[in-house]
Amino acid sequence: MSIETIRAEQLPDLFAGAAGIFAEKKDELCEMDARMGDGDLGLTMQKGYGALPELLKENMQDGDPAKTLMKAGMKMSSVVPSTMGTLMASGVMEGGKALKGKTEIGPNELADFLEGFAGGIQKRGKCEPGDRTILDAMKPAAEAARKEAQAGGSLQSVLNAAIDGAEEGVRATESMTPKFGKAAVHAAKAAGVPDQGAVAGKYLLEGLYNALSEN
């Protein structure tokens, strides 16, 4: 899938990369989450993104990537009706909304999607940067993606920049205090440990990059 733009019908293949990485990282994310939360993060990500490629196929909207992502994201929310599942579905839907009127996803549109995705998480989760959530990976990822797109980067380089931004965000969460859910109760355990949601956000980007880089 090494290409210059992504059409709606290629979205299932793109998100198959995310499905693949979450199948691989499921146990690792569950173990991280068990120390700070419910221990089901890996299952949630694997189930949600495992279903998304098929949901995209089933809800393909006449070559319209925005409508396709919004419809599939809505269906995804019922597949994983948990807090993180809802956040991920909201990210997909808002990312799709950011592509309204576009027929293909190029580097700038990819940055639009990632900005929308981060915005969807922030809006739905009522969280802010610094609250030690997945937003702390996705927001710097989106900012780095935008910068690379404006510099004339390719789809691959935009996603690579997003991964670098997410990695910086993940490292930054090691010194943040959690404010939500069970993690807030176990806040003392968080010192020096990256937020598991932020790590999951970085893996999402790596999964998309893997799909784009396949020949």
Q: Alpha carbon 89 to chain centroid distance?
A: 9
If you average pLDDT over residues 156-175, what whole number do you get?
97
The conformation of residue 6, written as its DSSP 8-state character, comes to E
pLDDT tens by residue, 120-139: 999 999 999 999 999 999 99
> Lowest-pLDDT range, 25-39, 70-84, 127-141, 176-190?
176-190
Of the pLDDT bands very low, low, confident and very high (cuts 50, 70, 90), residue 215 is: very low
What CATH code is assigned to 6-213?
Answer: 1.25.40.340
pTM comes to: 0.93
Strands (E), 88-194: 104-105
Question: What is the pLDDT at residue 81?
Answer: 83
Question: What is the pLDDT at residue 69?
Answer: 98
Q: Would you list the domain boundaries of the chain? A: 6-213
Lookup result for tokens 């609250």? 131
Mean residue pLDDT of the chain comes to 92
Q: Which residues pair with 7 in a beta bridge?
A: 104
User: 215, 61 in Cβ contact below 8 A?
Assistant: no
If you average pLDDT over residues 106-126, what whole number do you get?
97
- Count how many Cα atoms sit within 13 Å of the Cα of residue 168 in the half-sphere of its side chain: 12
- One-letter amino acid at 61 equals Q
User: Taking each helix axis from N to C terminus, what angle separates 196-213 and 155-173, rounded to the nearest 10 degrees?
Assistant: 160
